[in-house]
Amino acid sequence: MELKNKFERAVVLFILFAGGLLVSLPFIWMILSSFKNDREVLSIPPTLFPENPTFQHYIELFQNLNFGVYLINTLIIVLFSMFGLLLNTMAGYGFGKFDFRFKEGWFMIVLITMMIPGQVTMIPTYLILNEMGLTNTMAGIILPGLIAAFNIFLIRQFMVTVPDDLIEAARLDGAGEFYIFFKLIIPLAKPILAVQVILTFIASWNSFLWPLIVANDESLYTLSVGLALLQDENVTNYGLQMAGSAFMVVPIVVIFMIFQKYIVEGFNVSGIK
Amino acid sequence: MKQKRLGFLLVVMLGAMLVLGACSSGGSSGGSADEDTITVWTMTPELEDFVKEYEDESGVKVEVQAIPWDNAHDKLLTAVASGKGPDVLQIGTTWVAEFAEAGTFLDLSDYIDEYPNFNPDNFYESAVETTKYDGQTIGIPWYVDTRVLYYRTDLLEEVGYPEGPETWDDVKDAATQLAARGDDQYGIEIPQVDQNFPFMLAWEQGWQYEEGEGAANFEKPGFKEGVELHHTFFEEGMAQLTEGKQLYQAFSDGSKPMFFSGPWEINSINEQIPELEGQWDVHVMPEAENNNSMIGGAHWTVFNNTDKVDQALDFINWMADPETQVAWYDTVTELPANMEAWEDPKLAEDEKISTFGEQLESTQAVPVIPEFETMAQELIDTLEQINRNDADIDEALEEYRNQVSSILSK
Amino acid sequence: MNKSKFNITPFLFIGPAVLLLFVFSFAPILVSLGISFTDMNLSGLANWSQINFVGLDNFIQLFQDEKFLQAMGNTFFYVIIGVPLAVASSLLIAVLLNFFNNWVSSTFRVVYYVPSITNIVAIAVVWSFLYNQEYGLFNYLLSLINVDSVPWLEEPVVARLSLILLAVWKSNGVSMLIFLAALQSIPKIYYEAADIDGANRWHKFFKITLPSMSFATFFVTVTTLIGWLQFFEEPFVMTNGGPLNGTNSMALFIYQEGFQYSQFGYGAAASFVLFAIVIVATLVQFKLRKTD
């Protein structure tokens, strides 16, 4: 579908601009507030631009945060989460493109894991990790979050739309199943995978609960846990919190910018429904 | 070929994971395996640098693990569930009962005499009260916390209370005058979600909670008087019911010249509204039958599974020392639980802090029972019904008593 | 595929993920289901011999707990109004963005995704100001056109609607991305063919666009529904369930009654009531889709 003329273009652009402003206001406020002193952060009506810009919160952040260790831990988790994404993609493909016994039952098990609030299963999950001897290990931090039903479901939904003929043709050419998956399916799934990479990155970059629960040692903490430690019991330091969030959000925006263009690319393969 | 390479990749990845696991799985049960190392869980990260002095003195290595406040409860739950905890842990006064009931802590009763700094006479009586559960002593007080009245000296002077209101009648009189200044002007900020505040009001009307009496406690007259007092402020427009402005803004522009809060607020006000200097002060709680405030703060406890009891107790003994407590006050402005520490000029010569010291003499603890939090939350809901929904006080309280009996019978 | 003989291939694909999910997500759910029939609390957690089997007591008690019933009613209120709004608004944004294929779309893709990556505290502070009854921006704007101040967060029904507005605002990002990816996958030929037939824009939207992206719409609807049934964060940070329990949701109830107060048995029972609702809603959607 395309817009017919300049006027329509202008109208749609205007709507997008107005909506965009509304949607990004708290974000802009968050960034700008990281340069405000604490009193200004909460003043009513709020100020948008800091009256007396200060870098105090950023200085505090970098002085008090045990950066090196936390950053490495966070990056390890991100790395493994991408491996988890591969497993999710494989499973989504399996559910979308194969027939096997009890397929719907297996898939229901996957979906069910989305249907219970996380806090309910926190303690049982911890006890399982404990039985496996994985408390206070990196593996214990990574494993519970590695697989996400949401991702499997999304990929499955996409895979259903990939024509069977395409895969059959490749099989007739003698291609192995994994060859088909990596050389045919993954390139085809680029847009949906781009979405997945973004979501997976954000989730693992912000990982908080499991590093905190599983670690019996600060050497396994992540950046998010480190940031949470800077908060006082009684006095919320909003400026510092905003600086922390602003700092954490930079890599997310970068990853988003890189991968969002794949969302609209690809799909040159003709004949896809 | 391709397929094999992928298989290889998978094996490598999974292998890497197991290695990762194996590498870091050092200490198995509670704390570290090393004789001369103890692990300590705290919610105050500043402790990490603070314990260096102790490490030098004692030769024991203290591994401090800081835990964010908001998630400390979850972290403690998993420690209780698996039996894998630290050697020493900080516990807030409000969590004592539920975790003590679950047997999380070592009973320290037999050790009290062994360490000079554990003597209960060293500490505020109400703080010691919150270390006791079911005949056991589960912790040694570390720092304390209480509530006092913050007020604008200039504005209170205008209505005849230059030194701040002494009694609840004074507060009502001053607040009525101040609220009459015009629209959007109030006399005082009254907490609506603070779990301790309604109990403080009741104590001050002479009410006491007796553990054996259960729900019948809330039939005693003082309790209703406390609830009525709470309601009066909203009913007569002395306090704002809706969200309104941020408190410091309202304190600074004078629209809310009185509020109740803890010691941390002194530094916050100095930092955030420095121009108000000389125009505000703190005063002990207003009096009716008495002026009792709540006691809060944190204790040091020993995790039940530890095999390093002596090292743990030695560390706690150091933390409980008056000198250490003064130094800790200097580091993060938490109030010492040890009364001797209050003789130090750093505390004694600070007028505002001394007011807290004076208030601490008349403090009491909320009931140390596991059901307290649920009970208090129901009370908050009941007050909301009265203040916002015009519920009849007698009926609402009767309903509350029913709730309490069902909570206590669980 | 030959169905008569066992084919290992699909299990190679789903095996690792399903295995991990089973151990770390599904097994804990089974454990919780067991817990829901007990009176487990903190003491029980520490010492399993203190846990008593109580049969259906927790469930019976739940359906007599006014607070829970109210939370359940509120949750239905959120879902019935919120889900259609959330799906429609993210679809609308995606469609509008899809009109452009230059800097506009790439910039606004980021912009519209931004609420998903904004710190929840920043969101709470800003929206609390917008909704502040005396000093908030919304009521100020309304006062300019002589409308009385609205108690955005101070009156139960209004507060629920306010939270829905906030949640829709916040939730658009991910669904929008999925819709965008789906929109891109619709071959241009379809539209060209329709143009030749002289179809108008609405016609094209309902006859080509929507059916071609039904896989995405289905996904977004199902996950949005599941998400909204577990509505938690907005009341948690904005109202804590108040005023008068009017914005409390089932997930928040579970958090407060079950886990803040360490009544694990009761909390687990409440989450299985929620679970039953979620699974029925999901199965209904799968059934509806089959009959399409």
- pLDDT tens per residue, range C169-225: 998 888 998 898 888 878 778 888 888 888 888 888 888 888 888 888 999 999 999
Q: Do A120 and C97 touch (CB under 8 A)?
A: no
For C69, residues 6+ apart whose C-beta sits below 8 A from its C-beta are C63
Handedness of CA A199, A200, A205, A208 (dihedral sign): positive
Is the pLDDT at B2 greater than 50, yes or no? no
User: In the numeric block, which tokens belong to residue B368?
Assistant: 């140390």
Q: Among candidates B24, B25, B60, B65, which has minimal Cα distance to B48?
A: B65
Nearest chain A alpha carbon to B19: A139
pLDDT of residue C125: 82
**% of chain B exceeding 70 in pLDDT:** 92
All structural domains of chain C: 55-291 (1.10.3720.10)
What is the DSSP annotation of A120-152?
HHHHHHHHHHHHTT-TTSHHHHHHHHH--HHHH
Q: Which of B2, B22, B245 sits opposite A179 (nearest CB)?
A: B2
pLDDT of residue C292: 57
Residue B147 distance to chain A (closest CA, Å) = 13
Q: Which of C45, C47, C154 sits opposite B242 (nearest CB)?
A: C154
Quick one: A171 exposed, middle or buried, by C-beta within 10 A (0-12, 13-18, 19+)?
middle
More confident position, C121 or B287 = B287
Q: Do B81 and A216 touch (CB under 8 A)?
A: no
Q: What residue segments make up the domains of chain A, in order of their start? A: 65-229
Quickly state the pLDDT bin for A273 (edges 50, 70, 90).
very low
Chain A residues inside the 8 Å CB shell of B272 = 37-39
pLDDT digits (tens, 9 = 90+) for C131-146: 988 888 899 889 889 8
User: In the numeric block, which tokens belong to residue B381?
Assistant: 């809901």
| Neighbouring C-beta atoms of residue C274, cutoff 10 Å | 24
Residue C91 distance to chain A (closest CA, Å) = 13
AA identity, residue B286:
P
Chain A residues inside the 8 Å CB shell of C110 = 253, 256-257, 260
What's the CATH fold of domain B148-293+367-409?
A: D-Maltodextrin-Binding Protein; domain 2 (3.40.190)
Is the pLDDT at B25 greater than 80, yes or no? no
Q: Is B364 helix (H, G, I), strand (E, B) or coil?
A: strand
Q: Which of C16, C133, C261 sits opposite B242 (nearest CB)?
A: C133
Is the pLDDT at A79 greater than 50, yes or no? yes
**% of chain B exceeding 90 in pLDDT:** 79
Is the pLDDT at B380 greater than 90, yes or no? yes
Q: Do C264 and A121 touch (CB under 8 A)?
A: no
Residue B80 distance to chain C (closest CA, Å) = 5
Q: Is B145 helix (H, G, I), strand (E, B) or coil?
A: strand
B238 close to B172: Cβ distance less than 8 angstroms: yes
pLDDT of residue A62: 84
What is the signed CA dihedral for B117, B121, B126, B127, rounded to 10 degrees? 0
Is the pLDDT at A9 greater than 90, yes or no? no
Nearest chain C alpha carbon to B79: C46
Nearest chain B alpha carbon to C264: B77
pLDDT of residue C151: 92
Superfamily of domain A65-229 in CATH is: MetI-like (1.10.3720.10)
Q: Do C24 and A22 touch (CB under 8 A)?
A: no
Is the CB of B245 inside 8 Å of chain A's CB atoms? yes
For B34, residues 6+ apart whose C-beta sits below 8 A from its C-beta are B61
Q: Do B248 and A83 touch (CB under 8 A)?
A: no
Weakest mean pLDDT among A90-94, A266-270, B103-107, B127-131: A266-270
Quickly state the pLDDT bin for B28 (edges 50, 70, 90).
very low
- Stretch B305-321: mean pLDDT: 93
Interface of A with B in 61-120 (CB under 8 A): 64, 76, 80, 83, 119
What is the DSSP annotation of B269-289?
HHHH-GGGTTSEEEEPPPBSS
Is the pLDDT at B10 greater than 70, yes or no? no
Q: How far is the C-alpha of A177 from the C-alpha of A237, rounded, in Å?
A: 54
Chain C residues inside the 8 Å CB shell of A109 = 18, 21-22, 26
Q: How far is the C-alpha of C236 from the C-alpha of C230, rounded, in Å?
A: 12
Chain A residues inside the 8 Å CB shell of C238 = none
pLDDT of residue C1: 45
More confident position, C136 or B5 = C136
Is the pLDDT at C226 greater than 80, yes or no? yes
pLDDT of residue B12: 55
- Stretch B50-65: mean pLDDT: 93
CB pairs under 8 A between A and C: 260
pLDDT digits (tens, 9 = 90+) for C228-275: 999 998 999 899 888 989 999 999 999 988 888 888 999 999 999 999
Is the pLDDT at A249 greater than 60, yes or no? yes
For B338, residues 6+ apart whose C-beta sits below 8 A from its C-beta are B117, B122, B123, B141, B320, B321, B322, B325
Interface of A with B in 182-211 (CB under 8 A): 182-183, 209
AA identity, residue A138:
M
pLDDT of residue B16: 55
- Stretch A30-51: mean pLDDT: 81
- Stretch B176-183: mean pLDDT: 92
Q: Is A103 helix (H, G, I), strand (E, B) or coil?
A: helix
Is the pLDDT at B1 greater than 50, yes or no? no
- Stretch A154-175: mean pLDDT: 88
| C123-127 CB contacts, 8 Å cutoff, 24+ apart | C123/A26, C123/C166, C123/C170, C123/C237, C124/C237, C124/C238, C125/A26, C125/A29, C125/A41, C125/A42, C125/A46, C125/A238, C126/A25, C126/A26, C126/A29, C126/A46, C127/A26, C127/C166, C127/C238
The upper half-sphere exposure of residue B6, i.e. CA atoms within 13 Å in the direction of its Cβ, equals: 17
Q: In CATH terms, are B32-146+295-364 and B148-293+367-409 the same topology? A: yes
pLDDT, mean over chain C:
89
Chain A residues inside the 8 Å CB shell of C137 = 45
Q: Which of A44, A83, A220 sits opposite B249 (nearest CB)?
A: A44
Q: Among candidates B334, B261, B340, which has minimal Cα distance to B293?
A: B261
Interface of B with A in 202-241 (CB under 8 A): none
Q: How far is the C-alpha of C136 from the C-alpha of C128, rounded, in Å?
A: 8
Q: Among candidates C157, C74, C122, which has minimal Cα distance to C237?
A: C122
pLDDT of residue B8: 53
Residue B221 distance to chain A (closest CA, Å) = 33
Distance, C-alpha B368 to centroid of its chain: 13
**Interface chains of chain B (3 or more CB pairs under 8 Å):** A, C
Is the pLDDT at B32 greater than 60, yes or no? no
More confident position, A200 or C290 = A200
Interface of A with B in 146-185 (CB under 8 A): 176-179, 182-183
Quickly state the pLDDT bin for B23 (edges 50, 70, 90).
very low
Q: Do C42 and B102 touch (CB under 8 A)?
A: yes
**Interface chains of chain A (3 or more CB pairs under 8 Å):** B, C
**Interface chains of chain C (3 or more CB pairs under 8 Å):** A, B
| Neighbouring C-beta atoms of residue C42, cutoff 10 Å | 26
Is the CB of B14 inside 8 Å of chain A's CB atoms? no
Q: Do A113 and C21 touch (CB under 8 A)?
A: yes
pLDDT of residue C205: 86
Q: Summarize chain C as % helix, strand, coil (round to 5).
A: 75, 0, 25
Residue B358 distance to chain C (closest CA, Å) = 33
Q: How far is the C-alpha of B372 from the C-alpha of B380, rounded, in Å?
A: 12
Q: Is C93 helix (H, G, I), strand (E, B) or coil?
A: helix
Q: Do A134 and B25 touch (CB under 8 A)?
A: yes
- Stretch B279-284: mean pLDDT: 95
Is the pLDDT at B4 greater than 80, yes or no? no
User: In the numeric block, which tokens belong to residue A121?
Assistant: 């299963």
- Stretch A121-142: mean pLDDT: 91
A226 close to B73: Cβ distance less than 8 angstroms: no
C174 close to C86: Cβ distance less than 8 angstroms: no
Nearest chain A alpha carbon to B13: A83
Residue C202 distance to chain B (closest CA, Å) = 46
Q: Do C27 and A181 touch (CB under 8 A)?
A: no
Q: Do A106 and C18 touch (CB under 8 A)?
A: yes
| B22-28 CB contacts, 8 Å cutoff, 24+ apart | B22/A137, B23/A137, B23/A138, B24/A136, B24/A137, B24/A138, B24/A220, B25/A133, B25/A134, B25/A135, B25/A136, B25/A137, B26/A136, B27/A136, B27/A216
Q: How far is the C-alpha of C222 from the C-alpha of C283, rounded, in Å?
A: 10
Q: Which of B80, B184, B193 sits opposite C134 (nearest CB)?
A: B184
- Stretch B318-343: mean pLDDT: 94
Task: Quote the longest CA-to-CA distance of chain C.
Answer: 76
Omega cis (within 30) before C16: no
- Stretch A178-193: mean pLDDT: 88
Chain B residues inside the 8 Å CB shell of C132 = 243-244
pLDDT of residue B17: 55
Weakest mean pLDDT among A167-176, B135-144, C95-104, C173-182: C95-104
What's the CATH fold of domain B32-146+295-364?
A: D-Maltodextrin-Binding Protein; domain 2 (3.40.190)
Q: How far is the C-alpha of A61 from the C-alpha of A237, rounded, in Å?
A: 12
Chain C residues inside the 8 Å CB shell of A186 = none
Nearest chain A alpha carbon to B66: A229
Chain C residues inside the 8 Å CB shell of B77 = 42, 45, 262
Q: Do A139 and B21 touch (CB under 8 A)?
A: yes
pLDDT of residue C196: 86
Is the CB of B275 inside 8 Å of chain A's CB atoms? no
Chain C residues inside the 8 Å CB shell of A257 = 106, 110
Q: What residue segments make up the domains of chain B, in order of their start? A: 32-146+295-364, 148-293+367-409
- Stretch B316-324: mean pLDDT: 95
pLDDT digits (tens, 9 = 90+) for C110-167: 899 889 888 888 888 888 888 988 888 899 889 889 888 899 999 999 999 999 999 9
Token look-up 């996380």 returns A118
Q: Which of B10, B101, B374 sits opposite C42 (nearest CB)?
A: B101
Residue C150 distance to chain B (closest CA, Å) = 12
